[in-house]
Chain A
Amino acid sequence: MTTESTIQFTPERLAEATEIIARYPEGKQKSALLPLLHLMQEQEGWTSPEGMDYIARMLDIQPIEVYEVATFYTMYHVQPVGKHVIEYCRTGPCCLMGGEDVLGHLKQRLGIDTGQTTVDGQFTLKEVECLAACGMGPVFQVREKYYMHLTNDRVDEIIDELSK
């Protein structure tokens, strides 16, 4: 069942969404689904049910077609998240470079475990699989920025910087 949408794209994002949909051949507008989910998440912080229903109407597809895609891909947050989502690489090469120890420090510093959000709503910590920066590990990503060659001290600096 679709919900009455209170969420919609801002005029700028609506223009961008329209441009994205026009990239695909006639009748293949569903191809815009992943890019539009990214756009919605950029605007709202997460892909809420209302936001997904809005996208379904925009693409003239069933809401379930949006839900099944949003839940398949790990980059879409289908639950509310904090202001900064830290996506920490937990995969082999990063671990070889001390990734597990640095992750332990990060958890301690934030006072949360993987999957949780700090009480002040500032940080959500997620563990993700390989970020394709293996030679520069340990590494995490916050939005579009990669933070590489992490150490405990560097993690503290980054958290201080993002907390400002």
Chain B
Amino acid sequence: MAGVPEAATGHAEAHAHHPPYLQHHFVSAEQQFDAAKLGMWLFLVTEILLFSGMFVAYAVYRVWHPEVFQAASKLLDWRLGGLNTIVLLTSSFTVALAVHYAQLGDKKRLVQNLWLTVALAGVFMVVKYFEYSEKFHHHIFPGGNYAYEGLQLPYVGQFFSIYFVMTGIHGLHVLVGMGVLTWVALKAQRGVFSSEYYTPVEISALYWHLVDIIWIFLFPLLYLIH
């Protein structure tokens, strides 16, 4: 920056004012924001493809053994799954509110909504914990380890492999989301964000919506087979 006195040609690089959040290699705050957002969208694409492998496995085994999937699905508790769906949908709403208040520069409500989202994610995990432990209690394990007396069919293990792998990986995403949102909430409390700069809020909210959407697919596909 120094040493180029005649720097003020055409485009904006004569940093008259240089906001603290603007990293040196970006020309403007908009560029930085757009880059972060595009990066997050691309990351979400990779997430969808990660899950797509599992969805394909699901489709293959369901087409081959529809009756097994139907019977095995009955062992899942649709009420708990439904509850979790509502919980996650609500959390998507609260995180959207967080972005909204970030844009308005309303720090108090921003922080509130972020913590609310983290709390709802916690509720989701607690419900999942009860679901899992109930399954383990009945020796409902994935694949070759499946040993539940109440339902013995060939390939029923595959259903539960898919169930545990998909919901397990989804659950990991929820945990990661809780971590990220907590970090953002702490930053928000310190007053880092303003209506000019709220990129981390926006992109973590995008991530959180994806976690939510994936569950929206998992729930009917696993719990509601008739």
A and B associate in one complex: no
- Interface, chain B (partner A; CB < 8 A): none
